[in-house]
Amino acid sequence: MANFQLPAELMQALLEKFPNIEVQENQMVIVSADDLIPFMSEVKENPDYALDLLTNLTAAEYNDHFETVYNLISITNGFDLMVKVKLTDKDNPSVPSLCPLWGGANWQERETYDLMGINFTDYPGHPTRILLLDTFNGHPLRKDFKWEGGRE
């Protein structure tokens, strides 16, 4: 499979600009929640990266933290980049919403909120449930979720 990772020098430039980010071997970038919006605007607006298509936005739950995962693609350059945000507050995981940058984040954030219970701050209005009923209790993709009722 061909490689479409960011070239090393661009990655270096990113590291200089955002010293707090952590880059793993397969180019997964871990960003802190505070840095997320500036970081995303940089890789989106800067023509060197031009990572302009937010393809995927989701979240995963781990024992001691939540992680939101963002996948970006550049249409002009062909690069891809995976960005993660670690949310250590397990009781109230919240992360800035990407809606101001990408309209496409809207539904994906609603879905993530609905199923995983991540709060997106600055979301236009509060994210509402999208797949489940508005009256549904709990967030089913969390590991501690237990379905009460239904078929025996």
Partner 1 sequence: MKTQTYTLNLGPQHPSTHGVFQIVLELDGETVVKATPVPGYLHRGIEKLAEARTYAQVIPYTDRMDYMAGMLMNWGYVAAVEKLMGIEVPERAEYIRVIVGELSRIASHLIATGAYAGDIGGLTGFIYTFRDREDILDMLEMISGSRMTFSYFRIGGVAEDFPAEFFPAVKKFIEKFPSCCDEYDGLITGNEIFQVRTKKVGVITPEAAINYSLSGPVLRGSGINYDMRKARPYSVYDRFDFEVPLGCNGDCFDRYRIRILEMRQSLRIVEQALEQLPEGPIMAKVPKVLKPPAGDAYAEIESSKGLFGAYVVSDGSPKPYRVHFRRPSFINLGYLGKLCEGWKIADVIAILGSIDIVLGEVDC
Binding residues for partner 1, per CB under 8 A? 1-2, 4, 52-56, 58, 60-61, 69, 71, 73, 75, 78, 80, 82, 102-108, 111, 115, 129-133, 140-141, 145
Lookup: tokens for 89: 């507050």
Q: Judged by CB, which is closer to partner 1: 14, or 44? A: 44
| 5 touches 79 (CB < 8 A) | yes
Q: Judged by CB, which is closer to partner 1: 36, or 111? A: 111
| 68 touches 58 (CB < 8 A) | yes
| Residues in a beta bridge with 16 | none
| Residues in a beta bridge with 86 | 67
Distance CA 34, CA 128 (A): 23
Q: Judged by CB, which is closer to partner 1: 39, or 66? A: 66
Helices and strands (H, E) in the chain, number of each type: 3, 7
Q: Judged by CB, which is closer to partner 1: 16, or 147? A: 147
Q: Work out how close the CB of 62 gets to partner 1 at its nearest, in angstroms, rounded to a whole number.
A: 9
Q: Work out how close the CB of 108 gets to partner 1 at its nearest, in angstroms, rounded to a whole number.
A: 7
Q: Work out how close the CB of 72 gets to partner 1 at its nearest, in angstroms, rounded to a whole number.
A: 10
Distance CA 51, CA 74 (A): 4
Q: Work out how close the CB of 16 gets to partner 1 at its nearest, in angstroms, rounded to a whole number.
A: 26
